[in-house]
Amino acid sequence: MKQGDFIAVIFCLFGFLMVPLLTMACPECSAEGNTGVIVVDVQGDFTTAKKGSLAVNGADQAFIKKVGKATKDLSGKGFIIFATQDWHPANHVSFFTNHEGKKPFDLIKIDGRSQVLWPPHCVQGTENARVLVDNNLFRAVVKKGQDPKYDSYSGFQDDGGAKTEMDKILKRNTVRKVVVYGIATDYCVKATAIDAADAGYKVIVVEDLCRGVAPETSKKALEEMKAKGITILKELDIEKIKGL
């Protein structure tokens, strides 16, 4: 046998032996791709636990602990964990303080589009912009809302259409299915889940691991997501997610 043929045989045998080992090491890896998790905006300014400037009802310490445990459990089962993080400059267009005479939650027109004015929140480098889930669990944290001219509810793109790195990162990790949860059901969770579905991913939203701004808009958001073919699970069920 020639030396080149011998090396080729060794590589073939190595590949044959490695396939089952890789499958054991990563139970969510398969020919169909990996399952990812997107933890949406679980940051201090959106929680009552941290007395955030834009705190969502029910986003208390118990909720943060529940999200943290669920994320750790999913990571332990081989799911690949990602996060989104609102990361606004201080001069962001959505802050009411940057518009003279305006109040929080006023609705204004900017360049022909509607803009809700929020209290300043998740300002770059501040304590309450920090993601409150163990950051060591994340393969990547995708920052959004960095352009001062545009809001960014979705983890995939801002309101001006500029793409984040989310889609590229998911594709790089051969993710085909994503589990989405976090804050808020009726804003950033909805926008992220719908954009994921539009990008061709199978999407599952875990309702119990989300908190919404208002019951009515959260209910409507869940209906909109269902209409997009997104699966809504009342609570985390890892075996069911694997089967979807």
Half-sphere CA count of 144, side-chain side, radius 13 A? 30
3-state secondary structure 188-236: HHHHHHHHHHHCCCEEEEEHHHCECCCHHHHHHHHHHHHHCCCEEECCC
Would you call 241 helix, strand, or coil by DSSP? Answer: helix
The catalytic position among 50, 144, 177, 202 is 144
How far apart, in whole angstroms, are the C-alpha atoms of residue 193 and residue 212? Answer: 14
Q: By the 8 A CB rule, do 53 and 96 touch?
A: no
As beta bridge partners, residue 142 has 84
The catalytic position among 41, 45, 151, 159 is 41
Containing 22, the helix (H) or strand (E) segment is helix 3-25
Active-site residue, 144 included: yes
40, 42, 44, 50 alpha-carbon torsion, rounded to 10°: 150
The catalytic position among 151, 188, 190, 210 is 188
Active-site residue, 188 included: yes
Q: Which residues are catalytic?
A: 41, 144, 188
